[in-house]
């Protein structure tokens, strides 16, 4: 595989052609793609992800998401890796990104940078919630589409597709139709501003650079209520008080944002239940039953 990756990069007109590849080292890159650090003889490094060519749409989606995040990110707070090339070669696809050195560091700038990204994008002229092309959340598809009604969008383009998939492990969608109707109305009454969101913001998809800046990567972006990002940071942990303090310094959340945390995280729990099963099923059902008590 290393030789295949080497040949793929050598075929690129965009990757550094002034220096030969010195070595290719596998690195941690999640459970979907293989990930590599490419060392060049001139000292340059490139981060590369590889997968079968049939999965190239995952890389196309990631490339587009990174481009949009980079457009709205304040470089004094947040570093978003630049896409260097997307290569197809002998049955594989390879996404090449700028290498960023990460380390455990304070999260204040990460929080501030995320708030600035949300705020600056909300001031743009986007009029609807959604995304133009089909995307991915993990290995699952993320439904494309647009709506000016946030509640209807989140229910019909995020929750409902996952609920329909959950039929495979026994969830009966019709049993929760009243919950979906309630959520559609409740979320729309919230009337959030439209922001670009990371979309899959757990601690493994962000970090801090050696310079102390925040960094965002592996996104599943769309135009949404910014609270979907903040909610997910609370799902699996890994974010400290400095992160939330930094966010609140720039764009404070409203008093009732905590009431929406489980609603937004239900999307990710259902997705995990559909991909991995286990306790994610029970957690999803618990939230659905808790939400029914609100109806």
The set of catalytic residues is: 200
- Which of 251, 232, 19, 289 has the alpha carbon at shortest distance from 120? 251
Task: Give the integer Cα–Cα distance in Å for 124 and 195.
Answer: 9
Q: Please give the C-alpha separations between residue 187 and each of 128, 150, 151, 154, 164, in angstroms, as whole numbers.
A: 15, 7, 5, 8, 21
Q: Which residues of 245-261 are buried (b: 16+ CB within 10 A; e: fewer)?
A: ebbeebbeeeeebeebb
> Do the Cβ atoms of 138 and 271 come closer than 8 Å?
yes
Task: Give the integer Cα–Cα distance in Å for 254 and 261.
Answer: 12
Four-CA torsion 195, 200, 201, 205, nearest 10 degrees: -130
Q: Please give the C-alpha separations between residue 258 and each of 84, 253, 264, in angstroms, as whole numbers.
A: 39, 9, 10
Task: Give the integer Cα–Cα distance in Å for 81 and 47.
Answer: 9
Task: Give the integer Cα–Cα distance in Å for 198 and 205.
Answer: 9
Tokens of 224: 């949404």
- Which of 114, 136, 146 has the alpha carbon at shortest distance from 232? 114
């Amino acid at each position: 595989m290393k030789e295949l990756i080497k040949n793929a990069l050598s075929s690129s007109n965009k990757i550094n052609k002034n220096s030969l590849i010195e070595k290719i080292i596998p690195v941690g890159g999640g459970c979907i793609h293989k990930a590599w650090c490419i060392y060049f003889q001139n000292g340059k490094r490139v981060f590369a992800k590889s997968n079968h060519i049939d999965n190239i749409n995952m890389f196309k989606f990631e490339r587009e998401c990174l481009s949009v995040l980079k457009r709205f990110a304040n470089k004094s707070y947040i570093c978003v890796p630049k896409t260097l090339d997307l290569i197809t070669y002998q049955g594989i696809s390879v996404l090449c990104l700028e290498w960023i050195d990460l380390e455990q560091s304070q999260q204040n700038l990460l929080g501030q940078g995320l708030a600035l990204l949300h705020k600056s994008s909300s001031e743009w002229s986007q009029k609807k919630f959604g995304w133009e092309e089909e995307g991915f959340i993990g290995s699952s598809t993320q439904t494309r589409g647009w709506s000016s009604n946030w509640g209807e969008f989140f229910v019909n383009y995020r929750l409902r597709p996952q609920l329909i998939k959950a039929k495979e492990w026994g969830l009966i969608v019709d049993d929760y139709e009243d919950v979906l109707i309630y959520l559609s109305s409740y979320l729309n009454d919230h009337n959030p501003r439209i922001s670009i969101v990371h979309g899959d913001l757990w601690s493994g998809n962000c970090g801090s650079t050696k310079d102390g800046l925040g960094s965002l990567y592996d996104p599943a972006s769309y135009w949404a209520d910014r609270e979907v990002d903040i909610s997910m940071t609370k799902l699996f942990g890994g974010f400290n008080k400095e992160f939330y303090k930094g966010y609140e310094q720039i764009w404070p959340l409203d008093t009732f944002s905590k009431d929406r945390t489980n609603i937004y995280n239900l999307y990710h729990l259902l997705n995990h239940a559909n991909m991995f099963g286990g306790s994610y099923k029970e957690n999803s059902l618990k939230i659905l039953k808790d939400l029914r008590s609100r109806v």
